[in-house]
Amino acid sequence: MTTDPPTPTTPAPRASPAVRLPLTLVAGLGLLALCAALSLAIGSRTIPLDTVVEALTGGQHGGDADVVTGLRVPRTLIGLAVGAALGVAGAVAQGVTRNPLASPVTLGINAGASFAVVAAIHTFELTRPVEYVWFAFAGAAVAAVAAYAMSRSGGDLDPVRLALGGTVLTVVLTSWTSALMLASHRTLDEARFWLAGSVAGRHLDTLVPVLPFLLLGLVASFAVAPSLNALALGDESAQSLGVPVARVRMVGGLAVVLLAGSAVAVAGPVAFIGLAAPHLVRPLLGNDHRLLLPGCLIVGPVLLLTADVLGRMVARPSELEVGIVTAFLGAPLLAVLARRVAR
């Protein structure tokens, strides 16, 4: 008795980007809405969601409603802004440098902004984040230029040297930051909470001054997105396609500085959001930066709000700063990504 050979099966065709993008963005926006709702409801004590809705619509005042509108709404909005800035900054940094491990942290940009802010606190006795936003931008810019200068090899950008240069900058600047804090108890008291990376206790007057720079960084990022696709082919190939490589790198680098500087000025140096967000989006939307950046704009806040909510839950009635939670969760991720890149 003979049997027919099995009919070969073909894999189901993958949905086109025109279909994947709306579906993925809708799912991501739903997840982001859930994270925002949890951020408004969960804290040292849990507030029912119906109370949260009534507080937001003006149907209830006093007690839990004041906690929602006065503390948790600003904290959630700042988390949304900072997460979006870091997620997009990481994607642009990886595109500009052609290095999958690039991020505001690994390039030394966060460390540069942090050192500049602590130096300003130490020298000028600043006390509010709104006062040292300019120092955060300046430190981020100097660190980015220094990392880029150390990565040049024969006139081209060397991604490996860039990662090594960023690591060296981070170690050096972190040591200098620690030295400044140890030299002054006032600087230590003022900066240690901010350096942990936190959105707790922040008010909207902290976010408003940096919002124009954050928005400008987002506009610049989306403007260079098509050129980043060509840049992934290499400088010579991109130039043969008519892409002005130097200009794209300058605009992309400026966007990363604006986004990372804004985030650090508001929330301190929050690690790994910029590194993780692009790697979580790429399996869903691919490597096209025109799709990648909108995905990171959503995934970045999802990661930050999730880490912030976890920090509130694990140490009740106290809490862990979001920067501590992201560092704890991001260290294994960095090891996995480094192993994957090495392969």
Tokens found for residue 297: 């704009």
Provide the residue-wise pLDDT of the chain in tens; the chain has 343 residues. 455 555 554 444 555 555 667 888 889 999 999 999 999 999 888 999 988 999 898 877 778 888 899 889 999 999 999 999 999 999 999 999 888 888 898 889 989 999 998 999 889 888 776 777 788 888 988 998 888 888 776 656 677 787 788 888 999 999 999 999 988 888 888 787 778 888 988 888 888 888 999 999 999 999 999 999 998 888 888 888 888 988 998 899 899 999 998 998 889 889 889 999 999 999 889 899 999 999 999 999 999 999 999 999 987 888 888 988 988 887 777 777 667 766 6
C-alpha to C-alpha distance for 133 and 262, rounded to whole angstroms: 7
Hey, what CATH topology would domain 32-53+78-342 get? ABC transporter involved in vitamin B12 uptake, BtuC (1.10.3470)
Q: Which amino acid belongs to residue 70?
A: G
C-alpha to C-alpha distance for 319 and 298, rounded to whole angstroms: 25
Tokens found for residue 108: 């030394």
pTM recorded for the entire structure: 0.88
Pairing label, strands 152-153, 156-157: antiparallel
Residue closest to 213 by CA, chosen among 248, 256, 262, 250: 262
